[in-house]
């Protein structure tokens, strides 16, 4: 770990203002950032601690949704009765992530902004375009079992590892921020994370100093909510494939469906065509396969992760079957 200065922000505006200084990082739960600092993958010269900011509330919004403060702990969010009742997909996604101890520390903002688990990204002696632009991608020709099959670029094939963000993507959440000048904005979660493209080191739409203040959820859409996470052990493992589904169906017919995927892509993944194909369709194998085709259109494995394509197909099929069961 490199030496750094530490500042505890007293107000949100001051936090954002302090963070424009190059080399500054916000620290929330620290469960990702500290690990990266120990390995010198991240080498901030200043940490701004946001844990004491008044961002730890979950509030009802006037339109019947929820506003989740950026420092609400993952375990508190998962246990909130409103979340459990109306946003079961989010509660389940959260509880499927990490371990109880980590969830007690991890925050909403930190979870959204956690970095990839690509092995080579964590190892500063290896080439990695995300860590060191232009150095190459060790995963491309290397061991890439946990890597993405969608939304990749020739420079980076890493996944976004969050479970929470996948559920939020299905829920059409908005990420609220405040920038260094004190200006607030709301970014749809679909746009919040960026494709790696030519700049895998730039992962979100945030500008320097811009702080995530909250995530808002619109009122829950109708239908059954499911979060299905497929992983290598029963707990405490990142998703190989995960599906967040909200499906409104009755009498063998699907009215509407929302499907978001984790473990598959460079960012929480959602494909409009897949959902359009399902809307109004009868709940049968043909419709499910059609949706899978749309989701996996353009999917490409890199060797060790080839299995993710059939696995995603099978998992989606299982989830849709369950969601539409009378």
Ligand X SMILES: Cc1cc2nc3c(=O)[nH]c(=O)nc-3n(C[C@H](O)[C@H](O)[C@H](O)COP(=O)(O)OP(=O)(O)OC[C@H]3O[C@@H](n4cnc5c(N)ncnc54)[C@H](O)[C@@H]3O)c2cc1C
3-class SS of residue 172: coil
The two counts, helices (H) then strands (E), for the chain are 12, 12
Place of tokens 């109004």: 280
Report the residue number, 110 or 161, with the smaller CB distance to ligand SF4. Answer: 161
User: How far is the C-alpha of 32 from the C-alpha of 24, rounded, in Å?
Assistant: 16
3-class SS of residue 84: helix
CA atoms within 13 A on the CB side of 247: 34
Minimum CB–partner distance for residue 268 and ligand X (Å): 10
Taking a C-beta distance cutoff of 8 angstroms, is the pair 240, 310 a contact? no
Report the residue number, 97 or 223, with the smaller CB distance to ligand X. Answer: 97
Taking a C-beta distance cutoff of 8 angstroms, is the pair 161, 203 a contact? no
Report the residue number, 127 or 218, with the smaller CB distance to another protein. Answer: 127
Q: Segment near another protein (CB under 8 A), from 38-46, 60-68, 108-116, 200-208? A: 38-46
Q: Does 2 bind another protein (CB under 8 A)?
A: yes
Task: Select the residue interacting with another protein from 5, 11, 40, 135 (CB under 8 A).
Answer: 40
Task: Select the residue interacting with another protein from 34, 39, 197, 294 (CB under 8 A).
Answer: 39
Q: Segment near another protein (CB under 8 A), from 77-85, 139-147, 206-214, 257-265? A: 139-147
Which of ligand SF4, ligand X, another protein, none has residue 156 at its interface (CB below 5 to 8 Å by kind)? Answer: ligand SF4
The alpha carbons of the chain give a radius of gyration, in whole angstroms, of: 19
User: How far is the C-alpha of 216 from the C-alpha of 116, rounded, in Å?
Assistant: 24
Count of other CB atoms within 10 angstroms of residue 46: 15
The answer for residues whose C-beta is within 8 angstroms of residue 215's C-beta and 6 or more apart is 67, 68, 70, 108, 112, 168, 173, 174, 175, 176, 189
Which of ligand SF4, another protein, ligand X, none has residue 25 at its interface (CB below 5 to 8 Å by kind)? Answer: ligand X
Q: Element (H or E) spanning 170, and its range?
A: helix 164-170
Q: Which residues pair with 244 in a beta bridge?
A: 227, 260
Which of another protein, ligand SF4, ligand X, none has residue 261 at its interface (CB below 5 to 8 Å by kind)? Answer: none
Minimum CB–partner distance for residue 107 and another protein (Å): 19
Which of ligand SF4, another protein, ligand X, none has residue 39 at its interface (CB below 5 to 8 Å by kind)? Answer: another protein
Which of ligand SF4, ligand X, another protein, none has residue 38 at its interface (CB below 5 to 8 Å by kind)? Answer: another protein
Q: Does 101 bind another protein (CB under 8 A)?
A: no
Report the residue number, 158 or 215, with the smaller CB distance to another protein. Answer: 158
Which 282-311 positions form the footprint of another protein (CB under 8 A)? 285, 307, 310-311
Report the residue number, 82 or 231, with the smaller CB distance to another protein. Answer: 231
Count of other CB atoms within 10 angstroms of residue 280: 11
Contact positions toward ligand X, by CB under 6 A? 25-33, 50, 70, 74, 97-98, 102, 105-107, 109-111, 113-114, 161-164, 211-212, 238
Place of tokens 């405490």: 236
Minimum CB–partner distance for residue 40 and another protein (Å): 5
First to last CA, the chain: 55
Please report which residue ranges of 187-237 form alpha helices under DSSP H. Answer: 189-192
Q: Which residues pair with 73 in a beta bridge?
A: 107
Minimum CB–partner distance for residue 128 and ligand SF4 (Å): 3
Number of residues that bind another protein (CB under 8 A): 41
Report the residue number, 56 or 306, with the smaller CB distance to another protein. Answer: 306
Task: Select the residue interacting with another protein from 26, 87, 120, 269 (CB under 8 A).
Answer: 120
Contact positions toward ligand SF4, by CB under 6 A? 116, 118, 120-121, 128-130, 137-139, 156-158, 200
User: How far is the C-alpha of 215 from the C-alpha of 306, rounded, in Å?
Assistant: 34
């Amino acid at each position: 770990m490199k030496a750094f200065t530490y500042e505890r922000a007293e107000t949100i505006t001051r936090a954002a203002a302090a963070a424009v200084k190059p080399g500054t990082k916000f620290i929330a739960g620290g469960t990702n950032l500290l690990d990266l600092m120990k390995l010198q993958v991240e080498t901030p010269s200043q940490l701004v601690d946001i844990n004491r900011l008044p961002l730890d509330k979950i509030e009802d919004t006037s339109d019947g949704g929820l506003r989740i403060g950026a420092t609400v702990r993952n375990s508190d969010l998962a246990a909130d009765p409103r979340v459990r009742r109306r946003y079961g997909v989010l509660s389940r996604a959260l509880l499927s992530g990490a371990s109880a101890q980590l969830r007690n520390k991890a925050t909403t903002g930190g979870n959204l902004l956690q970095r990839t688990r690509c092995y080579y990204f964590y190892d500063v002696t290896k080439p990695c375009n995300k860590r060191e632009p232009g150095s190459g991608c060790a995963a491309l020709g290397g061991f890439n079992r946990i890597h993405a099959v969608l939304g990749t670029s020739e420079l980076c094939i890493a996944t976004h590892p969050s479970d929470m963000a996948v559920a939020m993507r299905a829920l059409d959440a908005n990420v609220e921020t405040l920038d260094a000048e004190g200006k607030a904005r709301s970014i749809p979660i679909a746009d919040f994370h960026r494709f790696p493209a030519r700049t895998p080191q730039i992962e979100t739409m945030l500008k320097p100093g811009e702080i995530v203040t909250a995530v808002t959820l619109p009122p829950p859409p109708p239908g059954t909510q499911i979060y299905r996470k497929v992983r290598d052990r029963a707990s405490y493992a990142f998703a190989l494939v995960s599906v967040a589904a909200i499906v409104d169906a009755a009498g063998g017919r699907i009215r509407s469906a929302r499907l978001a995927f984790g473990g598959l892509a460079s960012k929480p993944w959602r494909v409009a065509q897949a959902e359009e194909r399902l809307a109004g369709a009868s709940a049968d194998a043909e419709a499910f396969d059609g949706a899978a085709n749309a989701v996996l259109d353009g999917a490409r494995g890199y060797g060790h992760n080839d299995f993710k394509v059939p696995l995603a197909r099978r998992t989606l099929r299982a989830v849709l079957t369950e969601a539409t069961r009378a």
